Each structure stands twice: as C-alpha cells, then as structure tokens.
A and B are shown apart, each in its own frame.
Chain A
Amino acid sequence: EVQLSESGGGLVQPGGSLRLACATSGFTFTTYAMAWVRQAPGKGLEWVSSISGDGGNSYYTDSVKGRFTISRDNAKNTLYLQMNSLRVDDTAVYYCARVHVVCIDSWGQGTPVTVSS
C-alpha cells in the first residue's frame, strides 16, 4: 500500500523558516517524481513544486522561487520542502504527492503551516 506521511508543519512568524518532510513507503521511491501542493484556508489547490525521481530536476511556482527548495533523499524514501522567508500568504495545508506521469495518483494527509505574528 502506498503511504505518504507529512510532518514539520506548524506556526511560524513572517520571515521565518520551516522544513517539511514526507516519509513514503509501499512503492519504489526513485521511480516517481514527487510534488508539493498546498491549499490555503477556504481556497483551491495550488501546485508548489516538483522534483524528478533522481532529484536532478526541480520546478517551482513563481511565488515561491528563491524562497522554497524541494529535495529528496532516495536512500530514506523521503521528500522535503525547505521554506524560507515565509509570508502570511504561505499559510496553507501542504500536501505531499506522488506524480505518476500524467497525474497525481497518491496524496498525503497534509500538514498545516500557519505564518502569523
């Protein structure tokens, strides 16, 4: 069974940093691209970032470029999102997601991030 489990969310002040982690199991991690998708309170889904299976290619939505860094440890089957210079509008539930070529076929349960003073 495919399992994705996020951790690391919480309350942080504007300008602060957080590192999200997504522990995975039940599939061959290195053969899948992975992504982070977020959802602000009461809003729709927003793709944040993706990384290729070997970690060699990464992509970001414009609003997080230069502030967020996606990475993966294929030996630990874990995906990360380092978030720096956090802003109030980064407040959201952050989902870890498995990308299966033309869709996201598995999602974690989400971890909430609140940026507030």
Chain B
Amino acid sequence: IQLTQSPSSLSASIGDRVTITCRASHDINNVLAWYQQKPGKAPNLLIYGASTLQRGVPSRFSGSGYGTDFTLTISSLQPEDFASYYCQQLNSYPLTFGRGTKVEIK
C-alpha cells in the first residue's frame, strides 16, 4: 500500500492552522498513525487509529479521515511544533510510511 503525503514541506507562522494530508492507494480500515520527528531524535507518536490522540499529546493536534484519505491538523502552530511529520499504515504488510512533511518557520 502506497501512502502519498502532502505537502512535502510547508512554511507557517506561530498560531497558524496547519493541515497535512495522507492518501492511501487502498482502503486501510483507518489503521493509520501520525508521528512527529525532530532533527536527531526518534519519532514520537501523535495519533493512532486515524483519529485517537496519544496520551500526553497536546489537543491542538487532531486526526481525521477514513478509507483512503486522512488528515493531520495542528489547530494553532506552536514553536515546538516545527518538525517533520509522517503518516504510517499498519493495516497490512509491508508496513509503509508517507514520505514526510517538514513544517518550517515562515
């Protein structure tokens, strides 16, 4: 299953609403996770099951979608949110990641 993530990068300001999309080549039964990764660090789980917020993750992060089209939204971008974001499907092997979205400061 291919995951097409867009955009590959974006520039945004503090307080902006940011939306990242992830499109699967086949229905993945909402078995989709989103991760945040900062330079030199391991990824960190944000969202699983397409829309369930991982414990401890700020509520400004949200996930939505079903079937093949999914979205990660940051409602009000904060300084600590500048990072790369990846979607991943775990519905079937081989597991696959999107190619990532780098969120940069405008």
- Interface residues, chain A, CB within 8 Å of chain B? 35, 44-47, 50, 59-62, 95, 99-100, 102-105, 107-110
B18 within 8 A of A: no
What is the CA–CA distance of A100 and B88 in the complex, to the nearest angstrom? Answer: 13
Give the nearest-CB partner of A63 in chain B: B94
CB distance from B17 to the nearest CB of A (A): 24
- Indicate the size class of the contact surface on chain B: 20 to 34
Asked whether A104 lies within 8 Å of B45 as measured between CB atoms, the reply is yes
What is the CA–CA distance of A105 and B48 in the complex, to the nearest angstrom? Answer: 9
Asked whether B100 lies within 8 Å of A44 as measured between CB atoms, the reply is yes
Residues from 82 to 99 in B contacting A, C-beta threshold 8 Å: 84, 86, 88, 90, 93-99
Q: A100 contacts which chain B residues (CB < 8 A)?
A: 48
Asked whether A103 lies within 8 Å of B33 as measured between CB atoms, the reply is yes
Asked whether A99 lies within 8 Å of B42 as measured between CB atoms, the reply is no
Cross-interface CB contact of B42 among A59, A60, A109, cutoff 8 Å: A109
Q: A62-B94, A95-B42 are in contact. Are A104 and B33 (CB under 8 A)?
A: yes
What is the CA–CA distance of A62 and B33 in the complex, to the nearest angstrom? Answer: 22
Q: A44-B86, A108-B42, A109-B42 are in contact. Are A103 and B48 (CB under 8 A)?
A: yes
Cross-interface CB contact of B93 among A44, A45, A50, A107, cutoff 8 Å: A50
Asked whether A44 lies within 8 Å of B90 as measured between CB atoms, the reply is no
Residues from 60 to 102 in B contacting A, C-beta threshold 8 Å: 84, 86, 88, 90, 93-100
